[in-house]
Amino acid sequence: MTDYDAIVLGGGAAGLMCAAVAGQRGRRVLVIEHADRVGKKILISGGGRCNFTNLGVAPDRYLSANPHFAKSALGRYTAQDFLALVERYGIAWHEKTLGQLFCDGSSRQIVDMLLAECAQGGADIAVGHSAREIEHADGRFRLSFGGRQAQAPALVIATGGPSIPKMGATDFAYDLARRFGLKVIEPRPALVPLTLGGDETLFRSLSGVSAEVVARAGRTAFREAALFTHRGLSGPAILQISSYWRHGEPVAIDFLPDRATGWLRAAKREHPRATLRSQLAVMLPDRLADVLAERIGLTRELANCPDAQLQGAEQRLAGWPFHPNGTEGFAKAEVTAGGISTAELSSQTMEARKVPGLYAIGEAVDVTGWLGGYNFQWAWASGWAAGMAL
Ligand code: FDA
């Protein structure tokens, strides 16, 4: 039986950050990672360049049953703090768009940096093992892994969420949290493509076509690219809105976000011989212009269309209602929304209120960020908060 001050389950973004911070504060830390290497999601993130944070990080860019929960950790460990670490390691980076910071080189650099930080803190990292026989008695957590046994007064759940199960993602965090009596907010796929059925399968003919749109669900809207796929809708605008979308609700797409009300009636006066299709083709890809004009059913020259009809077309193009019949599920979801209830945790330390010594960090917790580096920033910030408390 080896004694540690803390055992961290999961060697992903949050777990490695937590182990590095606690280790550098003099704590003896063990990380147990069941995959054959640590940080697999970091390695594939951002198309291999890891979108490691976002300059626009703010608590209102995270979803949670308690929208205030993330404030403390995000405020104490900021995007600038992580950027300073990246720069200390000489990792070249660039801002791509919308505050998203990526490595110039490779995601590998972020994993190597975290491993170097863990090594500096003297953390032990065991890969290829699952923790078994986890017990809690006399203020100690005891477990076995790979034929060894370890114990510590603190146990950190950092095993992420179930998105992308083929990479080894599991429900482990929720099962363990429930075993300790912690509530779990129903997990659901987020940042995920939406699927279309019924009448809307006609849009599948547009597979591969993309356009900059505003996608809306309820009162939330994102202006970014949307992409038609052979199963429905994807692209950044759709992934973002998917986190807010609920089954049965429509997603409204504004295909012409830069056009003010009345644009088509103005076009009628300026170009009476033009058609809706030809006007759309000035702003949208040809195939999309074809399908939208056909579905609206306005094929005549604009001069021959009554203003009321043109106004109706403008309105439809500014809020085209799609009715997704589902999502592509955890298999394609970049993250999991929901998770270990924040009501169970201290927002300062991530420690469970009713189980002293038990911590939960990262994606396992009911805090989910927007697309664009927000989720890693939550992993760093929550990992740092726990690491400072261990
Ligand atoms: P993470 O999943 O990183 O780590 C959990 C670890 O626990 C894993 O290593 C897993 O193997 C391990 N584990 C699971 N069960 C275990 C068990 N029973 N025992 C031991 N270990 C166990 N975010 C972002 O901000 N910018 C980006 O560019 C991207 N890109 C991106 C691309 C793709 C394809 C995906 C799927 C996701 C992203 N993300 C992202 C999201 C980001 O990867 C995610 O939010 C963080 O990795 C979450 O960090 P965690 O440490 O909480 O979980």
pLDDT at 168: 81
> Rounded to the nearest 5 degrees, what angle is found at the Cα of 188, between the Cα atoms of 185 and 191?
125
Contacts of residue 76, Cβ cutoff 8 Å, sequence gap at least 6: 381, 384, 385
Instruction: Report yes or no: 289 and 281 within 8 Å, Cβ to Cβ.
Output: yes
Which of 297, 327, 357 is the endpoint of a domain? 327
**pLDDT tens by residue, 258-294:** 999 999 999 999 999 999 999 999 999 999 999 999 9
pLDDT at 202: 79
Instruction: Report yes or no: 12 and 379 within 8 Å, Cβ to Cβ.
Output: yes
Query: For the chain, what is the domain count?
Result: 2
Tokens of 42: 């970091």
Which of 280, 309, 327 is the endpoint of a domain? 327
**pLDDT tens by residue, 335-366:** 999 999 999 999 999 999 999 999 999 999 99
**pLDDT tens by residue, 54-85:** 999 999 999 999 999 999 999 999 999 999 99
pLDDT at 203: 86
Tokens of 326: 């589902």
pLDDT at 148: 97
d(CA 44, CA 148): 31
Tokens of 183: 């509530």
For residue 35, pLDDT over 90 is answered with: yes
Whole-number average pLDDT of the chain: 97
d(CA 238, CA 222): 8
pLDDT at 183: 98
Residues 323 and 247 in one domain: yes
Residues 320 and 339 in one domain: no
d(CA 101, CA 105): 12
How far CA 182 is from CA of 283, 340, 344, in Å, comes to 52, 7, 6
pTM of the full structure: 0.97
For residue 210, pLDDT over 90 is answered with: yes
Mean pLDDT, residues 84-95 = 98
Q: Are strands 194-195 and 184-190 parallel, antiparallel or unpaired?
A: unpaired
pLDDT at 335: 97
For residue 200, pLDDT over 90 is answered with: no
How close is the Cα of 369 to the center of ligand 1, in Å? Answer: 13
Contacts of residue 355, Cβ cutoff 8 Å, sequence gap at least 6: 136, 180, 181, 182
Q: What percent of the chain has pLDDT over 70?
A: 100
For residue 201, pLDDT over 90 is answered with: no
Pocket test for ligand 1, best of 375, 377, 380 (most atoms within 8 A of CB): 375
- β partners of residue 211: 226
Tokens of 101: 């910071």
- β partners of residue 9: 32, 157
Residues 251 and 120 in one domain: no
Which of 283, 299, 327 is the endpoint of a domain? 327
Residues 234 and 184 in one domain: no
d(CA 257, CA 280): 13
For residue 101, give the amino acid letter.
L
Long-range contacts of 295-299 (CB under 8 A, 24+ apart): 295/202, 299/275
Residues 264 and 382 in one domain: no
Residues 84 and 216 in one domain: no
Domain that holds residue 273: 194-327
Mean pLDDT, residues 114-138 = 97
pLDDT at 155: 98
Mean pLDDT, residues 315-338 = 97
How close is the Cα of 89 to the center of ligand 1, in Å? Answer: 22
Residues 215 and 318 in one domain: yes
Pocket test for ligand 1, best of 21, 44, 45 (most atoms within 8 A of CB): 45
**pLDDT tens by residue, 304-313:** 999 999 999 9
Mean pLDDT, residues 359-388 = 98
Residues 263 and 345 in one domain: no
Mean pLDDT, residues 152-166 = 95
**Ligand 1 binding pocket, CB closer than 6 Å:** 9-15, 32-35, 40-41, 44-46, 50-51, 130-131, 158-160, 163-164, 168, 170, 172, 334-335, 362-364, 373-376, 379
Residues 161 and 40 in one domain: yes
Q: How confident is the model at residue 319 (pLDDT cuts 50, 70, 90)?
A: very high
Give the torsion sign (CA, 167, 171, 173, 175): negative
Instruction: Report yes or no: 261 and 314 within 8 Å, Cβ to Cβ.
Output: yes
For residue 248, pLDDT over 90 is answered with: yes
Give the torsion sign (CA, 223, 86, 105, 167): negative
Residues 347 and 318 in one domain: no
Token look-up 């021959």 returns 304
How close is the Cα of 169 to the center of ligand 1, in Å? Answer: 8
d(CA 192, CA 334): 6
CB atoms near residue 36 (< 10 Å): 9
**Residue 57: CATH number of its domain:** 3.50.50.60
Residues 306 and 215 in one domain: yes
Residues 180 and 311 in one domain: no
Pocket test for ligand 1, best of 41, 133, 336 (most atoms within 8 A of CB): 41
**Residue 294: CATH number of its domain:** 2.40.30.10
Long-range contacts of 205-209 (CB under 8 A, 24+ apart): 205/287, 205/291, 206/287, 206/288, 206/291, 209/285, 209/287, 209/288
For residue 166, pLDDT over 90 is answered with: no
d(CA 332, CA 375): 16
